[in-house]
Amino acid sequence: MTEPKGNTPLMAPSSLKLPDYKTSVKLKYVKLGYHYLMTHGMFLFLSPLVIIIAAQLSTFSLHDLYNIWDNLQYNLISVVICSSLLVFVSSIYFLTRPRPVYLVDFSCYKPDEARRCTMKTFMNQSQLTGAFTEENLAFQRKILERSGLGDHTYLPEAVLNMPPNPSMKEARKEAEAVMFGAIDELLAKTSVKPKDIGVLVVNCSLFNPTPSLSAMVINHYKLRGNIDSYNLGGMGCSAGLLSIDLAKKLLQVHPNSYALVVSMENITLNWYFGNDRAKLVSNCLFRMGGAAVLLSNKFSERRRSKYQLVHTVRTHKGADDKCFACVTQEEDFNGKIGVTLSKELMAVAGDALKTNITTLGPLVLPTSEQLLFFATLVGRKLLKMKIKPYIPDFKLAFEHFCIHAGGRAVLDEIEKNLHLSDWHMEPSRMTLYRFGNTSSSSLWYELAYTEAKGRVKRGDRVWQIAFGSGFKCNSAVWKALRTVKPAKEKNPWMAEIDRFPVDVPKVAAI
């Protein structure tokens, strides 16, 4: 037992004076109080008025009501005109308002265990191909160790074979396994017949065969002849949300329809076997995966649907040359094709994100956050005050965040800029660790993780945000229509969800 120091007071300072409320009161609760006050301000303002009107109506007698009716009889023409106008305006509103779009369900493809690629397997395969110099093998090892990927990601058979045998046949084989695997599970979960699907949107950035991927789906499932079919290519990792936006617009003009959206990337023909380091990063990050999503505008589907689509916001920075060229598919000095990732990528992504959330903010942020942002803007721009720009708290607008698992650096920057917690970033980080960057389908693996954890409750709002070549940043906002119960779910996380989250080291030595 140690002796107390001579300068240690016998009584705690707190017992000698009043507490310092500036430090004892947690300011976050003050901010929450302000947020709720502003959010429900209109209700609080109107409540006294409603009470006064109700009190006045309670004094009416039957004689008073008879007098009102008697007066209306002498103004029958006015009553008829006003009633007709009310009916006309109401009809116009209901006929022209956008049809609600529901997400009935979705599924994510989980490859066979034979497609598993550990980090050690990746390095061994890269070395055995003989395509890479020792310096670039060391470079790939360094990138992989810091990538945030784990030992359970997947690559297609043609890449894992020794020697690798990429071909059009193998690429079609991978595409069929991913697309049909995801769609089969989706149709089984929803019990929707293929002939009932009226809209089909398939997106895959780098693999665009003839006949198209959408035609492969139509042929395999014998979809109807008048289906609206679209095949999106070359649009990068954000194409999944582009497809959702396109399907939403098509459902506005096709009543009582189902829309099937399939998002994937094809690795087989796009594995880089050269020594340009700007193209080798893609090998270290991209992995096999895909997702299928069933949307509907049928009101009868609302009861069993998981989510309703609230907003889609698309940002395209392609008019800027630096943004346009930051992700490019091209040949290297030996004529081998790969995808070049520019050093400007992070700066470009940050600029696109800023533009996107500036557009999205007014649609989703509570009044409290918009007022604080506006007040700060006025102070900085008009009053020339030296204050930091206010970053809105998007945690007040969304309960769940699905941020494209493009790489650890991207996730780190978004976490820092949006002031998100580890809990909010967990679905994205665990998806990157477990499945790697599956391009446009990664957002659905993240939402599946959130569901498997039992986090989605009725009324919760989900923000999906993705980046893509061009350069694009796209957002989708969903509202949960019901509580998702993990016990009734079938998704690629269910058999192992209890293992997550796991600690992902900054450097995972191979």
User: Which entry of 266, 297, 404, 474 is annotated as an active-site residue?
Assistant: 404
- The whole-angstrom separation of Cα 156 and Cα 206 is 15
Could you give phi then psi for residue 202, rounded to 5 degrees?
Answer: -120, 130
Q: Is the dihedral of CA 408, 413, 416, 417 positive or negative?
A: negative
Q: Residue 316 catalytic?
A: yes
Q: Which residue has the tokens 């506006």?
A: 374
Task: Report whether the peptide linkage leading into residue 471 is cis, meaning its omega lies within 30 degrees of zero.
Answer: yes
Instruction: Concatenate the DSSP letters of all residues of 287-350 into one string.
Output: ---EEEEEEE--GGGTTT-SEEEEEEEEEE-TTSHHHHTSEEEEE-TTS-EEEEE-TTHHHHHH
Asked about 400 being catalytic, the answer comes back as yes
User: Under DSSP, is residue 261 helix (H, G, I), strand (E, B) or coil?
Assistant: strand
Beta strand 472-480 with 461-468 is antiparallel
Kind and range of the H or E element at 509? none
3-state secondary structure 417-430: HCCCCHHHHHHHHH
437 annotated active-site = yes
357-to-191, 292, 316, 448, 474 alpha-carbon distances in Å: 37, 26, 13, 24, 9
Two tokens at 252?
Answer: 């506005």
Peptide bond before residue 389 is cis, with ω within 30 degrees of 0 = no
Angle at 269 between CA 111 and CA 341, to 5 degrees: 95
Please confirm, yes or no, whether 108 is among the known catalytic residues.
no
Report yes or no: 381 and 410 within 8 Å, Cβ to Cβ: no
Residues facing residue 473 across a β-bridge: 315, 467
List 108, 231, 283, 316, catalytic entry: 316
Pairing of strands 197-203, 228-232: parallel
Paired sense of beta strands 400-403 and 461-468, if any: parallel
108, 117, 237, 473: the catalytic one is 237
Return the closest-CA partner of residue 473 out of 329, 312, 343: 312
Judge whether 63 counts as a catalytic residue: no
Active site (catalytic) residues: 237, 316, 400, 404, 437
